Amino acid sequence: MLLSPYPTTGERIRITLLWIWCGLVILFLLVPILIPVPLSFNSGAFFIFPLEGISTRWYEVVLGTQRWQSAIGNSLIVAFGTTLIATTLGTLTAIALSDEKFPGRRIVMPLLLSPLIVPVVITAVGSYLFYARIGLASTYAGIILAHTALASPFVVVTVGASLTGFDRNLMRAAAISGAKPLTSFFRVMLPLILPGVLSGAAFAFVTSFDEVVVVQFLASAGQRTMPLEMFIGLREKLSPAITAAATLMMALSIVLLVVANLLARRGQKRPGTAP
């Protein structure tokens, strides 16, 4: 389809130019995300090329010092908490929404998706001022709650997509055969939509794990996460430890999202769904 049936020289040139242009665009896309990787093995203390030497000292800093360890721990606590709540509630909501009897879907859907649209600074400032008043600022619960708002739309959308391929007659059949609603959910529906649920969970996890703006407002010393530590480091003491942390975060996100997408694809046979 790139070339017409009888390509002219001009057309061939255009196609070549297209390939060159796209090659450059792909370089533009990939080079910046690959940059932190070599830098994280830099033995020098400043953040510049060329490397002064190869070492794993910054990984030792990230994985070995108490400060980064607790940041990693906090990130995991918050991300797992968010994933658990967002996945459970998001799946229930997606099931409800996929039922044609659900009233007012047209109103509810945009409301559910609004955390994706509202600029995150507004969400962060709003929850900070409100949570401070009710004693949720500087707590894990507060951060998890705010992250759940950001992450649940992904679960609703992903699980919703896997439910479009789900035949509701199966549930009726289960009911007629005498299965209680809960039983038929766990035995019939959940196994079929499981790829979608897991993929939604992975999106939720990554959303929370990568998030820094809300954390910046809501966290105090006790809840500093890895991205916040990185953000502070980028402003404060630029050290390649940040690139080591970035490399680790990137690796985790990419692995999880690859898995999520494979699952989503298996679940709905519909490619192209990305975070």
Partner 1 sequence: MTLMRKTLLALAAATASMTIAGAAFTDELSIMASGGAWQDAQRKAWFEPFSKETGAKILEQEYLGDLGKVKAMVETGNVPIDLVTVETATVLQGCDAGILERLDYSKIGPRDKFIEGSALDCGVGLDAYGDILAYDPTVLKEAPTSVLDLFDTTKFPGKRAMRKFPAQNLEWALMADGVAPADVYKVLATPEGVDRAFKKLDTIKKDIVWWDAGAQPAQLLASQEVVMTTAWNGRIQNAIDNDKKPFKIVWNNQILEYDMISIPKGARNPELAYKYLAYISQPENNAKLASYITYGPVRTDAASFVAPDALPKLPNAPDHLSGAYLVADTEFWGDYGEDLVKRFNAWLAQ
Partner 2 sequence: MSALQPSELDRPALARGRSAADADLKSVSAALRRAEFGDRLRTLLLAAPLLILLGLSFGIPIVLLLSRAVYDPTIADALPKTTVALGGWNGQGLPGDDAFAALAADLKDNQAKGTAYELAKSLNARLPGARSQVLKTARKLESADGQAALDAVKSLPFWSAPSTWPTIRNGTHSLTSFYLLSALDLRWNADGSIERVPPEQAIFVQVFLRTFFVAAAVTLATLLLGFPLAYLIASVPKGLAAILIVAVLLPFWTSILVRTAAWTVLLQKFGLVNDFLLFIGVASERLDLMYSRIGLIIAMTHIQLPFTLLPIYSVMRTIPPSQMKAAYSLGAKPFTAFRRVYIPQVFPGVMAGCLLTFILCLGYYITPALIGGASDQLISNFIANYVNVELNWEMAAALSFILLVFTLALFGIFARILGLDRLKLV
Residues 17-76 that bind partner 2 (CB under 8 A): 18-19, 21-22, 25-26, 28-33, 35-36, 39, 47-49
Q: Which of 48, 170, 259, 262 binds partner 1 (CB under 8 A)?
A: 48
Cα–Cα–Cα angle for 218, 148, 117, nearest 5°? 90
The three-class DSSP label of residue 219 is coil
Q: How many amino acids of this chain bind partner 2 (CB under 8 A)?
A: 91
Query: What is the Cα–Cα distance from 98 to 117, expressed in whole angstroms?
Result: 22
- Taking contact as CB under 8 A, which single stretch among the options 28-36, 46-54, 165-173, 178-186 is the one that binds partner 1? 46-54
Closest approach of Cβ 123 to partner 2, in Å? 7
What is the smallest separation between the CB atom of 260 and partner 1, expressed in angstroms?
33
Among residues 138, 192, 194, 250, the one that binds partner 1 under rule CB under 8 A: 138
Do residues 162 and 264 make contact, with C-beta atoms less than 8 angstroms apart? Answer: yes
Which residues ranging from 151 to 210 are in contact with partner 2 (CB under 8 A)?
A: 152, 156-157, 161, 206, 210
Q: Which residue has the tokens 């859907």?
A: 109
How distant is the alpha carbon of residue 204 from its chain centre? 5
Asked whether 228 and 235 are in contact (CB, 8 A), the reply is: no
Nearer to partner 1, 130 or 186 (CB): 130
- Rounded to a whole number of angstroms, the minimum distance from the CB of residue 191 to partner 2 is 19
d(CA 244, CA 99): 46
Closest separation in Å from C-beta 186 to partner 1: 41
Q: Count Cβ atoms within 10 A of the Cβ of residue 193 and give its class: 0-12 exposed, 13-18 middle, 19 or more buried.
A: buried
253 binds partner 2 (CB under 8 A): yes
Window 203 to 242, contacts with partner 1 (CB under 8 A): 220-222, 224, 232, 235-238
Among 71, 75, 79, 90, binds partner 2 (CB under 8 A): 90
- Residue 230: CB atoms within 10 A of its CB come to 19
Nearer to partner 1, 29 or 134 (CB): 134
Token couple for 29? 């896309």
Residue type, 130: F
Using CB under 8 A, which of the segments 30-38, 41-49, 83-91, 258-266 binds partner 1?
A: 41-49
Of 33, 6, 28, 11, nearest to 253 by C-alpha is 33
